[in-house]
Structures are given as C-alpha cells and as structure tokens.
Structure 1
Amino acid sequence: MAKPFALPRLPFLTDPMIAVLLAATALALVLPATGEARGIAGLVSNIGIFVLFLVNGMRIRRSEIARGLTNWRYFGPLMLFVFGGMALTGLGFASLAEHMLPPLVALGFIYLGCLPSTVQSATSYTSLANGNVALAVVGAALINIAGVFVSAPLFAALGGSAAGEIGSEAIIRIGLILILPFVVGQAVQDRVIDRVAKHRSRIAWLDRAVIGIAVYVAFSGAVEQGLATMFAPGDWAVLAGLVLAMLALALGAAWGVSAVMGLPRSDRIAFLFAGSQKSVAIGAPLAAILFPPSSAGFVIAPLLLYHLAQLVLAAPLALRLARNV
C-alpha cells in the first residue's frame, strides 16, 4: 500500500520570529507609541537589550570563542565576507535604491550589509542541510561578537554624511547597553552557564520579545513621521525586489567563495548560511541606539524584509542541499 503524500516540514512555516516581526510592525502601524508612551517604550527596549546581551554573554562559551580563533583559515575569510563583501554589496544596493526609495530606506541597505549573521537560524539550516553544525555554531557566535564592535563604525564609514556621525553619546550607549552586559556575562559564565542552558526555550522567547519591542519602537517613530504617505505600495514592491536580489547575490557569492577556498561540502554549507544571513537580533537593538525613533523605522525596513526572506528561502534551499548529498 502506497504511503500518502506528505509535504516536507519547512521550519519557516512555524518559526515564531516571523509572527513576532509581523505583529510588532502591525501594532506600530495601528497603535504607534508616541509622546510619553514612546519614551517609556524606548526605556523598556533598552532594558530588554541590556538583559539580552547579558544572557548572550552567559551562554556563548569562551572555549567556543577560543576554538574558533584558532581556525583562522575558515573564519578569516568568513569575517571578510560578512563585514567586507556584504558591506560593499549593501553600499552598491544603496546606490541603486537612492534613485527609487526615500533616502533613509536606501541608507538601510548599507546598514543591512554591515550587520553580522544570525546564530540560531544559520545553525538550524546548516543542520537541516547536513552541514558542519559545530562550525556553524562557532562561526555565527564569533561573527555576532565581532558585530557588536564592528557594525556601527563600519556603517559610519560607508554611510558617510548620510549616516551622520556616531558621536560620543552613541558610543557610550553602545558600551553600556551592548558591550558591558556581554562582558559581565562572560565573567560570571562559569557559575551560571548550566542554569542558563536549562532555560534555553525561555531565553529564545526573551530574544524574540526584545527584538519585537525594538522593532515596534522603531516603526512607531516611522509611522509618526508619515510612513504611510512617504511610502507608496509601489515603493514596497521596489524594496522587496532589491532585498530579494541582494539575498540571491549573497547566497550565490557565499557558495562560490567557499568553493574557491576548497572547503569540503559540509563546511561550504556552514559558510553559505553564516555568510549570507543577517541578524535582526543585533540589527534592531543596535538601530534603537544609533538612530532617533523618527529615523530607525525607515533604516531597518530593508533588514526586516531581508530577515523574513532569508527564513522563507533558507528552508527549501537546505532541504535541497540535504537531498543532493
């Protein structure tokens, strides 16, 4: 008797992050935080970001970081791809977008290119594609740690006058809200890492909640500045087309670079997902620190669409790679 046909299980269909991003954006469109409410929401967002990076410092093992630093033949090119090749790609797409989209949205492509890759989804899709999961975990962790220090100055350098100057106030806020809690988490890691590991599912929801709040605050400012009138339906179509083109280019380039490096197939799969994906977990909190609420929603628009697109496309791509082993 023939077995009934069953559709393959695609992780993005049940990924709660998609629902969180869509809900935060929709809530900002319908009920934006304005006036005193926006100040309170911003304070809650900053507190959540501090706690999130404290927990990240607790859960990323120092031994993994040390092990990754010794494998420079893999992680050196990966870092250059993420913070060099992708940043320049974002600069190129920003040049295209500035002729068709509002200036702040075009600037968002540079911001997108300067961000690190994801940790959780890059690892999940590497596993689904039968890639080197250990390499993916360490690689994504190292890139995210580097991103805390690299993304903001890199964005300032490539964005030029359009990005404005990252003044001492922004640097202090990055240090206090992102770097300080991570360093503290690393310092106390030995005493708490086992307890943190037991609450992995709750921590995942902490990630989503903090990202959702940051996105809500950012888009509330954009709505208050007239997002609906400044951004026509045709603009959304142009933005989506540019984002999909950038993602396709990133995937093709990552796969090609890993081939030139002569990596085995399992390592190439890890390079593919760690190199091409971008992290809203770093991007949304960092945007809340770098940009005023009136600008942040416009700047992170390409990031949100890119993040959703990478989740949708990564699942069938990973399944195809797994079948072709």
Structure 2
Amino acid sequence: MKLKFDGFIIALLSMILLAYLFPQLATYEDGKIFNILSSVGVALVFFFYGLKLSFSEIKHGMRNWKLHLSVQLFTFLLFPALVLAFKPLVQTETQKQFWLSFYFLAALPSTVTSSVVMVSIAKGNVPAAIFNASISGLIGVAVTPLLMHFFLEVGEVNVFGELYLGLLLEVILPVIAGLFLQRYWGKWAHRYSKALTTFDKGVVLLIVYGSFAESFVNDIFHTIGTTYLVSLFVGVIALFFIVYFVIKLIVRYVLHFNREDRISALFCGSKKSLTHGSVFSKFLFANNPKLGLFILPLMIYHAFQIFVITIIAQRLGKQIDK
C-alpha cells in the first residue's frame, strides 16, 4: 500500500524549529508587524474560501439533512462531550492547561480539503462531504468561541467584544465579500484552487511559527516535562479512535446509513481543522504566552488523522474496486 508523503507535516515541524532558533522574527517591533501580516493572511484565506463556496452544491447537499445534521452533531457535540467527561478529574493548574488544550481541539470545526479528498478515495458521498466540511467551518465561527467561553479565562479580552470583532473583520466579512464576488472571480478561484490551498497552508505555518515563537520567548516549554508530552500523544491518539469508533457504531447500527453516507459521516465527523484552529487560537488565547501548548494537541491530531484516514480510505476504495 502506497502512502503519499505529506510535506506539510514536515513544514509544521520546521516552523517549530525555526521558532525555537529565531523567535525574534515574530517579536520584532513588539510583534506588530507579524500580527499585521498574519491578520492580512487570515483575511485572504477566508476571502478565497468565500470565492470557492458553491451555492449550487450547498443547495443540492441540503437534501440529505439527516447525514448533515449527524456530522455537525458529531463535530460540535460528541467531541466536546467526550472531553468534558474528563473535566472532574482536573485538579492542578497543569492538568487544567492540559485539559483545555484538548477541549479546544474538540470544539473546532471539521477540515475541508482532506475530508473531501479522503471521502473521494474511499468512494464515499463526495457532495455530502463538500457540503458538511464547508458548512462546518461557517458554524465553527459562532459555535467554537461559545463552547470555549465557558472554560476560558479571558482576562482583559472581552469574548463577545474584541474576540468576535476580530472574527468579524478577519473571517466573516472576507467570506461574505468572497461570496458576493464569486460571480466574477469564482472561476478564477477554482482554476487556481491548488495554489490557493498552498497559500492557506502558508498562513497556517505563519501562525504556528508565531504561536511557538511567543512560547519559546516566554520559556514555557521548560515548565513541562516528558510525561506531559507523552500524555499529549497518547491522549490525542486515544481521542481519535474513541470518536472514530463511536461514530462508526452510530451511523451503522443506529442511523443505518448506506455505505457512501457512512464514509462521509466517519471522515468528516472525526476530523478537525488546523486552519480554523490556528486562526481561532489567535483570538481565544490572545496575549497568552502558552499559546504554543494550546495548539500542540491540534497539530498532533492533524498529522495523525491524515495518516490513519489515508490508510482507511485506500483500503475502502480498493474494496469497491475489487
């Protein structure tokens, strides 16, 4: 079985190394220049996202409401509920930080590109995957901050003020602008879809670099040990498989979906978006020196979900071919 080499994972690791060696690139002029660059980059990412949204595909996809409702409930209800179950076990400040980083991962929307690609490889319901992955990102703009608000110590940041103002300026308005200009530039966006995806990844790398640079400058990683990092890896892997198999049981034995819909529900419902996570972390953990620690589980989950789902998707696709 051949697996495609994902250079983006290596690029993410390279950004962490770069942040460790040269953190001053992000802190130059008190970080003002870097913040402007990342803000402009985020706005462009979601502007292009709006250009690529297809009203016809969304309208067509709404017919399978049972599948779509299930995927969104898996994403924004099942995931957080599983992590919330461990909240009573949190005692120390370190444990709280550890738990909150997982809860942030659980509250995020599903990813778009990899979900659609994997569903296509597995011969699943591709239109449903496109619809759910796209809608999930829009829902996440409102739902993710609300889910986080119950457990987040925001300090001087007003969650319903500064946070939503930032999301409005850098996420919502660019998406709306993209939707309005789709009739003019929509074909251009689809023609250069791969280039725009590369740009999206570049912005994510920029945010990841800035997050870890700030953490390295504040010497945060010296406060945690090997046990903490090992627990992160074990926790992320356990969370993925628990969610995956719970969804698998529900769609097969409770909802009785057909094969194509089961694949779409499994792949879209068990994935989390690194793009949205890196963007939301800018606002949710504003001025928090531990930002790198809060997005670390998300980065691990991103790499692991791509690796495992690729194997599963190829196996399912070959079953249909045979």
Q: Give yes or no for TM over 0.5.
A: yes
Secondary structure, counterpart of 2:124 in structure 1: coil
Write the distance in 1 (CA, Å) between the matches of 2:201 and 2:86.
28
Matches within 5 A, 1:157-236: 157=150, 159=151, 161=153, 166-236=159-229
Question: Shift of residue 316 of structure 1?
Answer: 1.3
Structure 1 residue ranges without an equivalent (≥5): 1-7
Write the distance in 2 (CA, Å) between the matches of 1:324 and 1:187.
42
Structure 1 residues 91 and 225: alpha-carbon distance in aligned structure 2, compared to 1, 3 A threshold: farther
Question: Does the 8 Å contact 1:135/1:270 carry over to 2?
Answer: yes
Indicate whether 1:269 and 2:263 are aligned: yes
Structure 1 residues 94 and 322: alpha-carbon distance in aligned structure 2, compared to 1, 3 A threshold: farther
Question: Shift of residue 219 of structure 1?
Answer: 1.1
Question: Does the 8 Å contact 1:91/1:113 carry over to 2?
Answer: no
Indicate whether 1:23 and 2:14 are aligned: yes
Question: Shift of residue 56 of structure 1?
Answer: 0.2
Instruction: Tell me which amino acid in the other structure corresponds to 1:266.
Output: E
Match of 1:250 in 2: 243
Offset from partner CA, 1:13-35 (integer Å, 9 cap, x none): x2232122112222112211335
Match of 1:281 in 2: 275
Match of 2:294 in 1: 299
Indicate whether 1:290 and 2:284 are aligned: yes
Write the distance in 1 (CA, Å) between the matches of 2:16 and 2:139.
28
Question: Shift of residue 233 of structure 1?
Answer: 2.0
Question: Does the 8 Å contact 2:101/2:294 carry over to 1?
Answer: yes
Indicate whether 1:130 and 2:123 are aligned: yes
Secondary structure, counterpart of 1:50 in structure 2: helix
Question: Does the 8 Å contact 1:116/1:279 carry over to 2?
Answer: yes
Offset from partner CA, 1:160-194 (integer Å, 9 cap, x none): 55898514111111111110100110111111111
State the TM-score, normalizing by the size of structure 1: 0.90
Structure 1 residues 140 and 114: alpha-carbon distance in aligned structure 2, compared to 1, 3 A threshold: same
Q: Percent identity?
A: 28
Write the distance in 1 (CA, Å) between the matches of 2:92 and 2:296.
17
Write the distance in 2 (CA, Å) between the matches of 1:244 and 1:215.
21
85, 88, 91: which one aligns with 2:78: 85
Ranges of 4+ aligned residues in structure 1 off by more than 4 Å: 93-102, 160-165
Aligned-residue CA RMSD (Å): 2.1
Write the distance in 1 (CA, Å) between the matches of 2:21 and 2:89.
31
Structure 1 residues 94 and 216: alpha-carbon distance in aligned structure 2, compared to 1, 3 A threshold: farther
Write the distance in 2 (CA, Å) between the matches of 1:118 and 1:196.
19
Question: Shift of residue 92 of structure 1?
Answer: 3.2
Question: Shift of residue 252 of structure 1?
Answer: 0.6
Q: How many pairs align?
A: 315
Structure 2 residue ranges without an equivalent (≥5): none
Structure 1 residues 323 and 41: alpha-carbon distance in aligned structure 2, compared to 1, 3 A threshold: same
Question: Shift of residue 95 of structure 1?
Answer: 5.4
Instruction: Tell me which amino acid in the other structure corresponds to 1:36.
Output: E
Match of 1:140 in 2: 133
Question: Does the 8 Å contact 2:281/2:291 carry over to 1?
Answer: yes
**Deviates most, 139-148 or 172-181:** 139-148
Question: Does the 8 Å contact 1:20/1:208 carry over to 2?
Answer: no
Structure 1 residues 304 and 94: alpha-carbon distance in aligned structure 2, compared to 1, 3 A threshold: farther
Question: Shift of residue 96 of structure 1?
Answer: 5.3
300, 303, 306: which one aligns with 1:311: 306
Offset from partner CA, 1:104-160 (integer Å, 9 cap, x none): 332111111110111111111112222122211111111112112221112213x25
Question: Does the 8 Å contact 2:57/2:127 carry over to 1?
Answer: no
68, 73, 80: which one aligns with 1:75: 68
Instruction: Tell me which amino acid in the other structure corresponds to 2:272.
Output: K
**Deviates most, 144-153 or 185-194:** 144-153
